[in-house]
Amino acid sequence: MQFLSIASGSKGNASFIQTGDIKALIDVGVSYTTIKNALKAIDIDMGEITHVFITHEHTDHIHGLKMLLKHHQPKVYLTKGTNNRLNIKGANIIKALEEVWINTLKVLPIPLSHDASEPVGFVFQSKDKSICYLTDTGYILNDLTPLLSNHTLYYLETNHDPYTLLHSKRPYHLIRRIMNEKGHLSNEDAAYYFSILQGENTTHLIHAHISEECNHHNIINHTFNQVLLAQGIKREHTVLFAKQNEPLELIKL
């Protein structure tokens, strides 16, 4: 499996995953040109995209979708609630916790808590490698722990530092939206979840959907180090920070 974070944040989200002949996008929240250029840098043409997985209908996750579908015909996967908002003809409707097999790739939609219509995250698994993709949620159900544990790569929302957010210039209604149960994971929340989900197979953690105004890499690292130390967990995995305006390096698992 190969994974590329193209963009992550409130201005737009998109990632790329490849296994065998499957070349897929997870969300298309930035422009067609931005995604095209990011893929070109790893020798992938937009016309090679076979599948698109949409987490939810917010603009920062679907901004470039219409243009993509205007030029190409990948298979689109999304929940019924999301498609009720987007009305994509011929879309493949998926349900949380119902597996979808695409050749040798197993895709498991994960129910999330966000102010959208039926949002989901994903677990992608091919042979002995797996990617757990969780962003845009206020919390993660404890009952999901067995399904989300011990994956190879975690793409995990680490949105905000609560203190910085509360003391920011953002209006109170926006602060409440971010911090409530249908908002976004804080550093502390993400660190706790990662501490119970990571395992011996985990090699990569990518901090995703990081607030540009209400978070910082140093704060994230400090919080995670403190939480993992308290749990007696050694940080032997590679740690990366997804960027809003620049793709990360292609990761080969």
105-122 pLDDT, tens digit per residue, is 999 999 999 999 999 999
The rounded mean pLDDT for the chain is: 97
User: Around Cβ 118, how many Cβ atoms within 10 Å?
Assistant: 21
Pairing of strands 22-28, 51-53: parallel
Residue 192 has a pLDDT of 97
The amino acid at residue 169 is K
Task: Report the alpha-carbon distance of residue 33 to residue 252 in Å, rounded.
Answer: 24
Domains of the chain by range and CATH?
2-252 (3.60.15.10)
Residue 238 has a pLDDT of 98
Q: What is the pTM of this model?
A: 0.97
Residue 88 has a pLDDT of 97
Residue 79 has a pLDDT of 98
Residue 169 has a pLDDT of 94
Residue 83 has a pLDDT of 98
pLDDT band at 186 (very low <50, low <70, confident <90, very high): very high
Residue 143 DSSP class: G
pLDDT (mean) for 121-136: 98
pLDDT tens digits, 33-90: 999 999 999 999 999 999 999 999 999 999 999 999 999 999 999 999 999 999 999 9
Q: Give the rounded percent of residues in the chain with a pLDDT score beyond 70.
A: 100
Residue 251 has a pLDDT of 98
Quote the longest CA-to-CA distance of the chain. Answer: 51
pLDDT band at 133 (very low <50, low <70, confident <90, very high): very high
Pairing of strands 75-79, 51-53: parallel
Task: Report the alpha-carbon distance of residue 185 to residue 197 in Å, rounded.
Answer: 15
